[in-house]
Structures are given as structure tokens and as C-alpha cells.
Amino acid sequence: EMQLLESGGGLVQPGGSLRLSCAASGFTFSNYAMTWVRQAPGKGLEWVSAISGSGSSTFYADSLKGRFTISRDNSRNTLSLQINSLKADDTAIYYCAKVVVVGGRLDVWGQGTTVTVSS
């Protein structure tokens, strides 16, 4: 069974940093691009970032460029998202998802990890 399990969320002060992780199992991780999607409390889904299967190409939402860094370790089947200079607006559930077709099918989602930015 294909599974994704996020971790690393928590309460952080404005201006702080956080590294989210997503552990994949049940599929050949390196064969698939991966993506992060977030959802602020009571709001809709927002695409954050994506990375190719090899990790050589990375993509970010225009509004988030500069503070977010996506990476992956194919030897450990792990996806990561580094978030710096956190703002209150970054408060959200962060989901990782497996990309079957670039820009399209996200067929496996994790349960999400919650990031709360507050003093």
C-alpha cells in the first residue's frame, strides 16, 4: 500500500524556521515527482512546491519563492520542505502528495502536518 507520512510541524514564532518531512513507502519513490500543498485554517488548498523524481528540478509558487526550499533524499525515500522567515500567513496544514502526471494527478496524499506561526 502506498503511504505518505508527514512530520515536523509545530508551533513556531514569527521569523523562525521549520523543516517538514514526508516519509514515503509502498512505491518506487525516485520514479515520481512529489509536491507540497498547504491549507490554512478554514481555507482552500494552495499549491506550494514540487520537485522532480531525481531532485534536479524544483518549482515554487510565485508568492512563496525565496523562503521555501523543497528537497528529497531518494536513498531514504524522504521529501522535505524547509521554511524560513515564517509568517502568521504560513499557518496551515502542510500535505505532501505523490505526482503521477506533472501538474495533474496527485494520487496519494499524506495526512498532513500542522504548522502554527504565533508569538
Partner 1 sequence: QSALTQPPSVSGSPGQSVTISCTGTSSDVGSYNRVSWYQQPPGTAPKLMIYEVSNRPSGVPDRFSGSKSGNTASLTISGLQAEDEADYYCSSYTGSYTVLFGGGTRLTVL
Nearest to 39 by CA among 108, 105, 111: 111
Instruction: List Cα–Cα distances, 2 to 12, 59, 70, 98, 104, in angstroms.
Output: 31, 24, 21, 10, 18
Cβ nearer to partner 1, comparing 4 with 86:
4
The closest alpha carbon to 2, from 108, 100, 74, belongs to 108
Interface residues with partner 1 (CB under 8 A)? 33, 35, 37, 44-47, 50, 52, 57, 59, 61-62, 95, 100-107, 109-112
Please report how close the Cβ of residue 42 comes to partner 1 at its closest, in angstroms. Answer: 10
For partner 1, which is the closer residue by CB, 11 or 45?
A: 45
- 86 or 96, CB closer to partner 1? 96
